[in-house]
Amino acid sequence: MSAGRVPFSVRRTSLIAGNTFLEAVRQRLFLFLVLLAVALVLGARFFQAFHFGSDLGTASLKFTFDFGLGALVFFGSILTITATAQLFFSEIENRTALTLLAKPVWRAEFIFGKFLGAWAVVGVFCALLTGLLAGLLWFRAHELLSADPEVFQHGGPVALGDLVIVCALHWLKFGVLAMITLLVASFSNTNLFSVVTGFFVLVICHLQGFAHQAYARVEQSSVVLRLLIGTLARVFPDFRLFDFAEQAGQVGGVNATLALRAAACALIYIFVFGFLAVFSFRRREI
């Protein structure tokens, strides 16, 4: 145990998280990605020219919603992986981790502090884009309503509550992704390796649906094959669980019970990946 007999401290963890957060928001990468994402969300109206069938009120808003959410997911994923890996390795490369861990600080505090700091940065990013998207949808809905009061007779715009739930679930997904990146960083030697592996894992987690489809198709008699594909389908989290965008804007909106289940899954994964990262980091020589 890195901290001798000192008990685990939430305060020390939050101090590490606070410093990580400050370090992250000062980075140019964060500002650059925020600006790009904001520009893309605001530019959703101009991209609408490429969309087929967007002349209808609901379709137009759905396109804006999809597009804005696309910006959040795309740049959010980049920010999560690169910022988490960079924040971890900056401590290792600058040797500040050595100084820090020489003091009575648990490696678990270090890992969870880094995670919370990075996750908070991604949280700010998500909150900013969610607010912007909500404003844009509200503005567009009013614009369409003033042009035609019956524009939403076949379906209303996306509810604000649904938008918040959808974005919050993506934030939780980014939490899982950040912890996976930390797990990779805990045993890898370079920042680049962690970032590249993080992106590979992101792709795998998004395509987990295919693994589940393949698992469902394997014959019952092929025990070994079922075990192999079943394990593959279970080792990586399925990121489709956190994508409720299709439910938003539909009659009935987002199913809150299912959203809570998905949130619980995310939190379980964050803790499991977190403990594995600590386990791996404790075996590492710095």
Partner 1 sequence: MKSSLVLPRRFTTGFVVVAALAATGWAVRPLADPVREELSQGEPELRLESLSDVLGQGVTVGLLGGFRTLVADFLFLKASLDWENERLPATIASLRLATTIDPRSLFFWVNGASMMAYDMSNWRINEEGGFDQVPKARQREIDRVQAAQGLAFLEEARRFHPHSPVPYREMAMIHWIRLKAAAEDEAGVRAEILQAAELYRLGSEQPGAPYVYARLSAIFLENAGHLREAYEGLVKQYHTLPKAPEDPGYARMPRKNPPPSEDEIAAAEASTVLESIRRLEKQLGIPPEKAFQP
Contact set with partner 1 (CB under 8 A):
47, 50-53, 62-63, 66-67, 69-74, 77, 154, 183, 187, 202-203, 206, 209-210, 212-214, 231, 233-238, 240-241, 243-247, 250, 255, 258, 261-262, 264-265, 268-269, 272-273, 275-276, 279-280, 283
Classify each residue of 159-182 as buried b or exposed e, where b means 16 or more C-beta atoms within 10 Å of its C-beta.
eeebbbbbbbbbbbbbbbbbbbbb
Residue 96 CB, nearest approach to partner 1 (Å) = 25
State which residue, 7 or 252, has the beta carbon closest to partner 1.
252
Distances in Å between the Cα of 95 and the Cα atoms of 28, 91, 140, 285 are: 22, 6, 51, 13
Residue 142 CB, nearest approach to partner 1 (Å) = 22
Assigned token pair, 196: 């590249």
Cα radius of gyration rounded to whole Å, the chain: 21
Taking phi over 0 as left and psi of -120 to 50 as alpha, with beta for the rest, 156 belongs to beta
d(CA 24, CA 279): 25
Question: CB 128: neighbour CB atoms within 10 A?
Answer: 15
State which residue, 10 or 228, has the beta carbon closest to partner 1.
228
Residue 152 CB, nearest approach to partner 1 (Å) = 15
State which residue, 21 or 239, has the beta carbon closest to partner 1.
239
Residue 105 CB, nearest approach to partner 1 (Å) = 22
State which residue, 145 or 265, has the beta carbon closest to partner 1.
265
Residue 33 contacts residue 79 (beta carbons within 8 Å): yes
State which residue, 57 or 117, has the beta carbon closest to partner 1.
57
Residue 83 CB, nearest approach to partner 1 (Å) = 17
